[in-house]
């Protein structure tokens, strides 16, 4: 491990700001002078470092100096062969992994409960998804991890597949047996891609589930801004020795901005430094806070805060103890209803509310007093709003049937039909509740009455349904019935 005390991008920006450089380049606000209201809102320091690529500050698309040094330090910190700083969000990291391993007609094995960014990548590159439908926990209404039996079956039935994609951990903290999946995949010659958007902290804490790089995955997308403390939209793409870093940079540059934000880049640099130097202490504190809250919530009655008791050694190989997922069904309210109550009446903003659960994302910036306030609010909601749970939906995810390759469906001849009259048709767009951003329907999938009823129920309960051309989701785009696309 090299010296992790430095932050090359941050230090270069400080050095740059110490000079009286006259800016005849972009951005046009010229260190804030051209937009005083924005400068007053964000602060002069922010505007001073909102600069463009130049020789002293390097260039993200072709790094040679300070960005290259910062990425090297990140690779060392994450125990990876290479690290790429990403400023288009972890969506761009996920899509770069897919673009680098599969092209039109290639097969990629993946759980169906992936983030929309993965399926968007399939629409763009034309690869064919081999879905492993996830195991379900019926009481919680959530999908679990990938069972080894399902992975082995998919690999054996698709010997021509090029890659396998894994969520680890899921939004809810569920972890698969990554090491065994990697072993099976590599034996079959497949690349292993990991979506670790919710797992940055696994690299820095102790007694947490195994990280993707430690398990031998070939690539991993980590959202440094989620549990690592950097600014929103900043991410890191990690690769191991089986991936050519020069080719990977070319793939990344296909969709990467040529005007990378130094606000985001410096936040990645400083957050890496902070987590390396203080991560063990920080994550122990986070785990302790969540464990305290979990015990308090489970003492209330009717709520269920998920914990390690879910572990079964297979579909729930491990559990991320930093996740505070709370099932709300026994108080007769959908998770999204509790989510709305917490925000509107108690000024508490949760990360997620779905049909059955809420999720509090606890990380480096949280305090015990914040969790005490959440627990008190949940007690009050139970007292004021508890009702009979008869008739409530319990399932967060319905296994759809893939009929047409996502790219062919998305770009095919389509027509808009009423949601309630769309049964049996093939969807050409995404339909998802956000968060978590896992599609209820994706392009190329058959619409069933169960799915229609689920969408209607989610709308009724107040879920934000996104991805459709019709913003009110009264109509869905489907393939025309002449079968041409």
125 & 180 share domain: yes
What pTM does this model have? Answer: 0.94
Candidates 90, 385, 323; CA nearest to 224 is 90
107-111 and 163-167 strand pairing: parallel
270 & 293 share domain: no
* 63 and 6 Cβ atoms separated by less than 8 Å: no
Residue 393 lies in a domain: no
209 & 335 share domain: no
* 327 and 357 Cβ atoms separated by less than 8 Å: yes
Task: Give me the number of domains the chain comprises.
Answer: 3
Q: Domain residues for 380?
A: 280-385
Residue 392 lies in a domain: no
pLDDT of residue 133: 77
107 & 197 share domain: yes
Residue 484 lies in a domain: no
pLDDT of residue 364: 76
CATH number of the domain within which 207 lies: 3.40.640.10
CATH number of the domain within which 325 lies: 3.90.1150.10
263 & 289 share domain: no
Query: How many C-beta atoms surround the C-beta of residue 384 within 10 A?
Result: 9
pLDDT of residue 138: 72
- Across 184-258, where does the E strand assignment appear? 191-196, 219-222, 235-239
Q: Which two tokens stand for residue 430?
A: 């995404």
262 & 144 share domain: yes
46 & 116 share domain: yes
C-alpha pair distances (Å), 52 with each of 71, 130, 257 = 19, 42, 12
67 & 210 share domain: yes
240 & 103 share domain: yes
**Rounded distance, CA 126 to CA 106, Å?**
8
Which residues lie below 8 Å from residue 196, measured CB to CB, with a gap of 6+?
168, 169, 202, 211, 212, 220, 221, 222, 223
Q: 275, 309, 334: which is the final residue of a domain? A: 275
CATH number of the domain within which 420 lies: 3.90.105.10
Residue 100 lies in a domain: yes
349 & 467 share domain: no
Q: Which two tokens stand for residue 17?
A: 């700001």
38 & 119 share domain: yes
Residue 401 lies in a domain: no
Average pLDDT per block of 10 residues along the chain, 485 residues long? 88 93 92 95 95 94 97 98 97 97 97 90 96 78 87 96 96 94 98 96 95 98 94 97 97 95 97 96 96 97 94 92 95 95 97 92 90 98 94 72 94 95 96 80 94 90 90 95 64
Residue 237 lies in a domain: yes
pLDDT of residue 463: 85
Q: 233, 259, 275: which is the final residue of a domain? A: 275
Q: 216, 246, 275: which is the final residue of a domain? A: 275
134 & 259 share domain: yes
Residue 485 lies in a domain: no
Q: In DSSP terms, which residues pair with 191 in a beta bridge?
A: 163
Residue 142 lies in a domain: yes
């Amino acid at each position: 491990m090299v010296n992790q005390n430095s932050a090359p991008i941050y230090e270069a920006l400080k050095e740059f700001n110490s000079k009286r450089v006259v800016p005849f380049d972009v951005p046009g606000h010229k260190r804030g002078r051209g937009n005083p209201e924005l400068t007053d809102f964000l602060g002069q320091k922010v505007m001073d470092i909102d600069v463009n690529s130049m020789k002293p500050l390097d260039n993200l698309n072709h790094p040679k100096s300070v960005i290259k040094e910062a990425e090297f330090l990140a690779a060392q910190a994450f125990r990876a062969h290479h690290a790429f700083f990403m400023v288009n969000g972890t969506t761009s990291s996920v899509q770069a992994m897919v673009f680098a391993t599969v092209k039109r007609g290639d097969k990629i094995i993946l759980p169906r409960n992936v983030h929309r960014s993965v399926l968007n990548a399939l629409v763009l590159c034309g690869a064919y998804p081999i879905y492993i439908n996830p195991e379900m926990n019926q009481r919680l209404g959530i999908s679990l991890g990938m069972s080894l039996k399902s992975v082995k079956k998919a690999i054996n039935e698709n010997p021509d597949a090029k890659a396998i994609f894994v969520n680890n951990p899921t939004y809810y903290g569920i972890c698969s047996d990554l090491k065994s999946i990697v072993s099976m995949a590599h034996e079959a010659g497949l690349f292993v891609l990991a979506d670790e958007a919710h797992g940055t902290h696994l690299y820095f804490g102790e007694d947490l589930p195994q990280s993707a790089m430690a398990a031998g995955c070939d690539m991993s997308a980590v959202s440094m801004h989620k549990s690592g403390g950097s600014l929103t939209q900043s991410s890191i793409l990690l690769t191991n020795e089986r991936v050519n870093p020069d080719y990977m940079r070319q793939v990344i540059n296909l969709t990467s901005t040529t005007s990378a934000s130094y606000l985001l880049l410096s936040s990645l640099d400083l957050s890496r430094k902070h987590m390396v130097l203080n991560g063990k202490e920080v994550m122990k504190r986070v785990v302790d806070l969540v464990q305290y809250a979990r015990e308090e919530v489970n003492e209330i009655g009717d709520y269920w805060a998920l914990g390690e008791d879910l572990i079964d050694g297979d579909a729930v190989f491990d559990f991320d103890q930093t996740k505070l997922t709370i099932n709300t069904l026994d108080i007769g309210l959908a998770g999204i209803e509790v989510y709305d109550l917490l925000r509107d009446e108690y000024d508490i903003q949760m990360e997620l509310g779905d049909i059955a659960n809420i999720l509090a994302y606890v990380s480096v910036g949280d305090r015990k007093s914040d969790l005490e306030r959440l627990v008190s609010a949940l007690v009050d909601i139970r007292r004021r709003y508890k009702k009979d749970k008869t008739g409530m939906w319990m399932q967060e995810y319905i296994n759809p049937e893939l009929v047409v390759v996502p790219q062919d469906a998305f770009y095919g001849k389509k027509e808009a039909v009423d949601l309630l009259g769309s049964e049996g048709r093939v969807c050409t767009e995404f339909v998802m509740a956000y968060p978590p951003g896992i599609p209820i329907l994706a392009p190329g999938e058959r619409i069933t009455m169960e799915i229609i009823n689920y969408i209607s129920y989610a709308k009724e309960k107040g879920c934000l349904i996104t991805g459709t051309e019709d913003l009110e989701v009264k109509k869905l785009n489907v393939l025309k019935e002449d079968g041409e696309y």
